[in-house]
Structure 1
Amino acid sequence: MQGIQPNFDERQPSGLSGSNPPEWRGRFPRNEIISLLDVNRPFNLAESTSQDLTVGELMDMAGLEPIRNLKLGYGTSAGSVALREAIAEGCNIPAEHIIATQGTALGLFLLAFEVCRSGDEAVFATPCFPPSRDCLLGAGVSVREIKLSFENGYRLDLDQIDASLSPKTKLVSIASPQNPSGIQTSRADIEKLLVLLERRSPEAILFIDETYREAAYGDNAVVESFAGLDSRIVTGASVSKALGAPGLRTGWLTVANADLRERLAVAKMNTVISGSVLDETLATALLRNREGVLASRRRLLAGALQELALWCESEHERIEWVRPDAGALCCLRLRSDAFDEVAVSRFWNLLPSHDLQLASGTWFGESSRVFRLGFGYLPPARFGPALSALSMVMDAAAA
């Protein structure tokens, strides 16, 4: 996201659902998270990505020497063989199980559009990245929301999911690590969820968004992908978040079922035809060099998380937080004993005057007391001042 747009309408963010103005006629709900594509303030704590990779950094990577001879024709329906092999290596599955898509959200849309028919239902965990929910609604799917709680650390509630499953359930969608909280779901809970699906919704697909999986902290081990665990699992991810290349618009689905894989390839052909061969070539080089790219980013994330933890401790009388398991993001909450509803409104209104940007909890299905804070996007030299500016905003809001 490049450049500050000073003329953008910076009204207080509206909610995940019920946010559309009366005249809104779109098939997809409108959500104010779209503002992140248009506004980039100096203290941008709203972004959930690592720092943006540059074209120069990418072109210096091994494997791109022949790119001048790349022919800009159509790509293949599933994505280039080289790209799928690079993805498969990171997921420890066969390359033929991969379908490349223009980002994870498009992959989920195509999956929902293909596996759900009229009268079918999807069970979906919130808070969430808004397009992950709204693409289901845009595909015409009836959605049953499972609301995870700040008080419970946004851990997956299997009892709630069990109560929402039925023979009409064709898709269950979760994220691990979650957006906006950065909380991971354990392998044990995924295995328990699969048992529930077998008993209550035997035709259901379990979709797991793993976009932030490789964004670990320092030397922390990266959790293994769920892609090879069970044939009922479809995972999605991209080069956008951990690797810092959202502009390449390259994501993927892992699909073990050959029939579903073919149907998704046909769905992709009838929507976007194929991916960009240029984007796929660049993404392939990035994935083949992933460990070198990720190592430095993981060190930065570990340092930023430590700095954030110290700041949260110093502000514990005014804010609460859920410490993330992975990803460049987490959830914080303005304490109700420090901020009444008027002060919360003041807090959001004061952010622009302090060059600050946060992602409102209402975008994700939470209250306006909650906000997503991204700690991997800003350079280290600017992160501390951004937190200081956030403290100043809280001073002014509570006055």
Structure 2
Amino acid sequence: MNRFPPNAIASLVGEAPPRHDLAESLGPDLRFGALFDDPHEAGALAALPLSYASAAGDPALRAAIAAVHGGGADEVVVTVGGMHALFLLAFTLCGRGDEAVITSPVFPLARHALQAVGAEIRTLPLHFDDGYQPDLEALRALLSPRTRLVSLASPQNPSGVALPEASLRAVLALMQQHAPQARLLVDETYREAHYGGTPAAPSAIALDQRVVSVASLSKCHGAPGLRIGWAITRDAALREQLVTAKFNTVICCSPLDEAAALRLLQRRGHLLAERAAHLAANLALTAQWARDEAALVDWVRPDAGALCCVRMKPAVFDEAAVARFHAALPALGLRIGDGRWFGESARVFRLGFGLPPTAGLADALQALSSALRQAAGGYDRRD
């Protein structure tokens, strides 16, 4: 469906301007170097024009993104962060009354985008005790000819759990049978946040033309301030609709952000290797903490990402003890990802182990143990 009508004015932000451009509405482009008393302070970016960028995204940047996912540059739409891509897909694919399937727990903004466009949301519960893997029979019951989008994340937020290729293929088979007009959105924002020498899982984009991959530079690469994300689709018509929707919402991304993003991806191997070593060390520390505190908590080991889910044991923490735990955090200088943010229960929390240095994480986990023990100490253990 075309939520925005196509208009040839979008050619103003095409990739190759004509020799004589008399259609524009502005004066000469300012150069980045003009913002400095000494243009040399701007370095290699001094000559970068602060003009409108391409609506689809800088061709070199799209080629770099495509190379990471095993696709082609003409399959990529660069967006203002991954959230922009999620919104554009919701807006483009789901009209009022159309159905969309999304999991719970989930990154709340992914659900909010579907709510904002009036989609009828059907929720697929994911359970801690099942390692947050989807129940395919439960999914089958949610699909219908009115389904336009099935939204999954791999690895997931908040758990860091990835979906095996076999599961994704099974989802596609169910969609083919029960929701033939639906697309499968796979949010792969954490895919490259792997641990140590373990390679990242391949992108889901190669599985089927119905798959749309969304990701960004925010999580794996540590650059949320660049506000660069992307959607990748092998459906040329859908890609064109996404470009049109992007043009009608933000016109284009910042050329400064795109230039920095291209530089980042050119150094991607080195940067990701450093981050993989850090994540591996912090994951090992977190795993040891979970073993040490096994009397109080359970956890689900993540497959990738800087996060995992921890659950306070029901046998130790009743509802009052869970409330005491949350109340104890501020005095200890602690913040955790409350499970209720994501549609989980209050006894589950997201532990973000990737941000602190390893020594700082050790201190934080010690404080977390203190909060748990304070809360558990007041628990009435009567049978």
TM range, smaller chain: 0.7 to 0.9
Specify the SS of the correspondent of 2:195.
coil
AA aligned to 1:267 is A
Q: Could you list the per-position Cα deviations for residues 121-163 of structure 1 after superposition, in whole angstroms to 9, with x for gaps in the alignment?
A: 0001111111011111012111101010001000122111111
1:325 equivalent to 2:299? Answer no
Residue 41 of structure 1 is matched in structure 2 by none
Deviation at 1:118, TM superposition (A): 2.6
Which of 352, 364, 374 matches 2:352? 374
Q: Which residues in structure 2 correspond to 1:194-233 (within 5 Å)?
A: 194-233=172-211
Residue 241 of structure 1 is matched in structure 2 by 219
Q: Matches of 2:134 and 2:317 in 1, distance apart? A: 28
1:138 equivalent to 2:121? Answer no
Q: Matches of 1:291 and 1:162 in 2, distance apart? A: 40
1:175 equivalent to 2:192? Answer no
Give the superposed CA RMSD: 1.0
Residue 22 of structure 1 is matched in structure 2 by none
Which of 237, 246, 249 matches 1:268? 246
Q: Could you list the per-position Cα deviations for residues 208-245 of structure 1 after superposition, in whole angstroms to 9, with x for gaps in the alignment?
A: 00000000010112101111221100000000001000
Residue 6 of structure 1 is matched in structure 2 by none
Q: Matches of 1:354 and 1:306 in 2, distance apart? A: 23
Question: Greater CA radius of gyration, 1 or 2?
Answer: 2
AA aligned to 2:195 is Y
Aligned length: 336
Q: Matches of 1:398 and 1:356 in 2, distance apart? A: 17
Deviation at 1:65, TM superposition (A): 5.5
Q: Matches of 1:395 and 1:182 in 2, distance apart? A: 26
Q: Matches of 1:115 and 1:389 in 2, distance apart? A: 45
Residue 95 of structure 2 is matched in structure 1 by 117
Deviation at 1:103, TM superposition (A): 1.2
Q: Matches of 2:43 and 2:167 in 1, distance apart? A: 44
Identity %: 48
Q: Could you list the per-position Cα deviations for residues 151-199 of structure 1 after superposition, in whole angstroms to 9, with x for gaps in the alignment?
A: 1000122111111000000000000000000111111111111111111
Q: Could you list the per-position Cα deviations for residues 242-262 of structure 1 after superposition, in whole angstroms to 9, with x for gaps in the alignment?
A: 100011110000011111111
Q: Matches of 1:394 and 1:342 in 2, distance apart? A: 13
AA aligned to 2:302 is P
Q: Matches of 1:379 and 1:118 in 2, distance apart? A: 46
Q: Matches of 2:206 and 2:52 in 1, distance apart? A: 30
1:190 equivalent to 2:165? Answer no
Q: Matches of 2:334 and 2:264 in 1, distance apart? A: 31
Residue 352 of structure 1 is matched in structure 2 by 330
Q: Larger deviation: 115-124 or 243-252?
A: 115-124
Residue 304 of structure 1 is matched in structure 2 by 282
Which of 131, 138, 141 matches 1:160? 138
AA aligned to 1:311 is W
Q: Matches of 2:55 and 2:139 in 1, distance apart? A: 34
Specify the SS of the correspondent of 1:179.
coil
Residue 39 of structure 2 is matched in structure 1 by none
Deviation at 1:82, TM superposition (A): 1.2
Q: Matches of 1:201 and 1:131 in 2, distance apart? A: 24
Which fold has the larger relative contact order, with Cα–Cα distance below 8 Å and residues 6 or more apart in sequence? 1
Specify the SS of the correspondent of 1:227.
helix
Q: Matches of 2:120 and 2:56 in 1, distance apart? A: 28
4+ long deviations beyond 6 Å: none
TM, length-normalised to structure 2: 0.86
Specify the SS of the correspondent of 1:100.
strand
Residue 17 of structure 1 is matched in structure 2 by none
Residue 78 of structure 2 is matched in structure 1 by 100
AA aligned to 1:220 is T
Specify the SS of the correspondent of 1:356.
coil
AA aligned to 1:284 is L
Deviation at 1:316, TM superposition (A): 0.4
